[in-house]
Structure 1
Amino acid sequence: MYPLEVLQRGIFREGDIEILLENSPVKVPSDIIRLIDKYAHIWEEQGFYDEFRIGSVREIILTRRGSSEDPFVILKLQPTGYFHFLATNANLNLRKDFYEKDRVILQTRAKQLKDPFNPIRDFANPLSVNTIVLCDKGTKTIIVKRSSRTCFRDGLWYPSAAETFSIPHDTSEDGRPSIFSTIKRGVHEEIGIIQEDITDYYISGLFFDWEVYDYKFSAIVDTALSCEDIIGRWKLLAKDSKYEGISVNIVPFEVKTLLNAQGWAPELRASFIMGLVSKYGPARIKRELEKLIL
Structure 2
Amino acid sequence: MSRDRFTLVGRETNCHIYEGDGTRPIREEDVRVLYRRQRVEFPEEIGGWRHSIEEEELRNEALGLPHRWNNERFAVERITVSRNHLAEDPVVTLTLQDADYYDFLTTSLNLERKQKNGLTLREQYLEGEDPALAPAWMNCSFGINVALETGKDGRMLFSRRSAQVAGPNSSRWNSSANEGMARQHDLPGDGSPISLHAVARRALFEELAVHATDELDLELLGFGLDLNNHQWAAFFRAVLPELDEDTLRLRWTRGVTDKWEHDRFEFVPADPESVLGFIADEPPERWTPCAPALFYLALVRGAVRRAGDDPAARFAVETAEQRVIEARGL
TM-score, L = length of structure 1: 0.87
Q: Which amino acid aligns with 1:143?
A: F
Q: Percent identity?
A: 21
1:96 counterpart residue number: none
**Counterparts of 2:37 and 2:204 in 1: how far apart (Å)?**
28
**Counterparts of 2:207 and 2:49 in 1: how far apart (Å)?**
31
Q: Which amino acid aligns with 1:287?
A: T
**Residue 283, structure 1, aligned to residue 315, structure 2:** yes
SS of alignment partner, residue 181 of structure 1: helix
| Preserved CA contact (<8 Å) 1:206 1:218 | yes
**Residue 25, structure 1, aligned to residue 39, structure 2:** yes
| Preserved CA contact (<8 Å) 2:99 2:140 | no
Aligned with residue 278 of structure 2, among 253, 260, 278: 260
Q: Which amino acid aligns with 1:79?
A: D
| Preserved CA contact (<8 Å) 1:57 1:127 | yes
**Residue 8, structure 1, aligned to residue 19, structure 2:** yes
Change (3 A) 1:120 1:113: farther
Q: Which deviates more from structure 2 when the two are superposed, residues 118-127 or residues 83-92?
A: 118-127
**Residue 186, structure 1, aligned to residue 184, structure 2:** no
1:230 positional shift: 1.1
SS of alignment partner, residue 176 of structure 1: coil
1:140 positional shift: 0.7
Q: Which runs of 5+ in 1 are unaligned?
A: 94-99
**Residue 57, structure 1, aligned to residue 57, structure 2:** no
1:216 positional shift: 0.6
2:224 counterpart residue number: 207
**Counterparts of 1:266 and 1:253 in 2: how far apart (Å)?**
21
Aligned with residue 295 of structure 2, among 272, 275, 283: 272
1:94-243 superposed matches below 5 A = 101=114, 105-111=120-126, 114-137=129-152, 139-152=154-167, 153-171=169-187, 175-223=192-240, 224-238=242-256, 240=257, 243=260
| Preserved CA contact (<8 Å) 1:231 1:248 | no
1:70 counterpart residue number: 89
Alpha carbon RMSD of aligned pairs, Å? Answer: 2.5
SS of alignment partner, residue 122 of structure 1: helix
Deviation per CA, 1:195-251: give whole Å up to 9, x if none: 22133101112111111112111111111211111122223335x567311122211
Deviation per CA, 1:164-211: give whole Å up to 9, x if none: 122142257972111111100101001110122133101112111111
Aligned with residue 81 of structure 1, among 73, 80, 100: 100
Q: Which amino acid aligns with 1:154?
A: S
| Preserved CA contact (<8 Å) 2:30 2:92 | yes
**Counterparts of 2:222 and 2:163 in 1: how far apart (Å)?**
28
Change (3 A) 1:221 1:62: same
How many matched pairs? 286
SS of alignment partner, residue 41 of structure 2: coil
1:250 counterpart residue number: 267
Change (3 A) 1:111 1:167: same
SS of alignment partner, residue 217 of structure 1: strand
- Greater CA radius of gyration, 1 or 2? 2
**Counterparts of 1:222 and 1:32 in 2: how far apart (Å)?**
43
Change (3 A) 1:46 1:270: farther
